Amino acid sequence: MITKDTVFELVNNKGPLIPIDIMRELGGNTFFIGAVLSELSAAGKVKISTVKIGGSPLYYTENQLEKLQNFRNYLNEKDARAFEIIKEKKVLRDKDQNPLVQVCLRSIKDFAKPLNVKFGDNEEIFWKWYLLSDAEAVSEIKILVEGTSKKEEEPAKEEEIPVKEEIIQKPVEHKKEVVESKPAKSESQKEVKDFQKPISSLDDDFSKFVHDYLDASNIAIVKQVIDKKGKEISYELLVPSQVGRVKFYAKAYSKSKLSDSDLSKVFVQATLDKLPALVLHQGDLTKKATEVISRFTNFVVKKME
């Protein structure tokens, strides 16, 4: 007979396992096994991985943490690269990583753990290898911080670094020309068309093309930031949906080819802003850009035609 105890005993002895492994050992069906595993997870007896095998997560117990790295081969190429980096370095400073690595670190949640670190007047995100203790991570972080201070010819401060495991939301500074639209009316209004339409202060064809496209789609502009070359425009948009208007972080590109790096930058900023992401473009996507889209959640890419 299949019970919570028999399933837990199997996972504890042979895990990490996926539901079909348990079904082969104990019988039953994946629906019933899944329900039992959900109860064990809710009770804190088993853990669930973000790594998936054929669409199924792994179930394991606390004493099987080290075995998770045996499933590294189920990561995609870019996530696997980030896995190797964090495994080798043990601790990484988020701001020192390129945008793609930043995205991948947030994706491999089983292996990279975020630490919100305060030292002095500064607050930053660091990442630790999942098997590293907080105390060991603090020691490594102090080395990184003090090393930076020495490079800047500033004396390192001897102080405790409090650590809290959570991602801070830190806006990215844009050294760009900021063009604010007129403020939109209250979001409690029923029609997107009721919002104040932004008046563009730009004369270039690209910005006019984007604004015309947004107007035709009944999308309201809350804010826009234009780079000095006028080839990229960042937006906060209110996009109509079946559940009402939804705020998006968006970026419009005037490029013949859009790369995976372009998409990764948008995803990182949208994640920091706690918003879904929208990419608007006129050209084509590179092969790598097409592949990376499936890895992102709350991420929309739209060609303007």
- pLDDT tens digits, 94-153: 989 988 899 999 999 999 999 988 877 778 899 999 999 989 998 998 888 877 655 555
Same domain, 189 and 297: yes
Does the residue 70 lie in any domain? no
Does the residue 102 lie in any domain? yes
Among 164, 197, 213, give the residue marking a domain's end: 164
Query: CA-CA distance, 288 to 261, in Å (whole number)?
Result: 9
Cβ atoms 58, 49 nearer than 8 A:
yes
Does the residue 39 lie in any domain? yes
Does the residue 156 lie in any domain? yes
Query: CA-CA distance, 141 to 231, in Å (whole number)?
Result: 38
Query: CA-CA distance, 74 to 133, in Å (whole number)?
Result: 25
Same domain, 160 and 182: no
Q: Domain total for the chain?
A: 3
- Statement: residue 292 has pLDDT above 70: yes
Range picked from 76-85, 163-172, 239-248 for highest mean pLDDT? 76-85
pLDDT of residue 70: 95
pLDDT of residue 150: 56
Cβ atoms 272, 169 nearer than 8 A:
yes
Same domain, 29 and 111: no
Regarding predicted confidence, which is higher, 201 or 41? 41
Minimum mean pLDDT among 8-22, 105-119, 191-205: which range? Answer: 191-205
pLDDT tens per residue across span 232-243: 899 999 998 877
Cβ atoms 58, 68 nearer than 8 A:
yes
Same domain, 187 and 278: yes
Does the residue 139 lie in any domain? yes
State the helix-helix crossing angle for 19-26 and 30-42, rounded to 10 degrees.
Answer: 110
User: Which CATH number goes with the domain that contains 88?
Assistant: 1.10.10
- The DSSP 8-state label assigned to residue 305 in this structure reads -
User: Which CATH number goes with the domain that contains 50?
Assistant: 1.10.10.10
Among 164, 196, 222, give the residue marking a domain's end: 164
pLDDT class for 248, splitting at 50, 70, 90? very high
pLDDT of residue 71: 95
Does the residue 232 lie in any domain? yes
Same domain, 98 and 204: no
By DSSP bridging, strand 112-119 and strand 122-129 are: antiparallel
pLDDT tens per residue across span 26-84: 988 878 888 899 899 999 999 999 999 988 999 999 999 999 999 999 999 999 999 99
Same domain, 186 and 268: yes
Does the residue 147 lie in any domain? yes
Domain that holds residue 201: 177-303
Name the residue with tokens 């650590």: 163
Regarding predicted confidence, which is higher, 249 or 122? 249
pLDDT of residue 32: 86
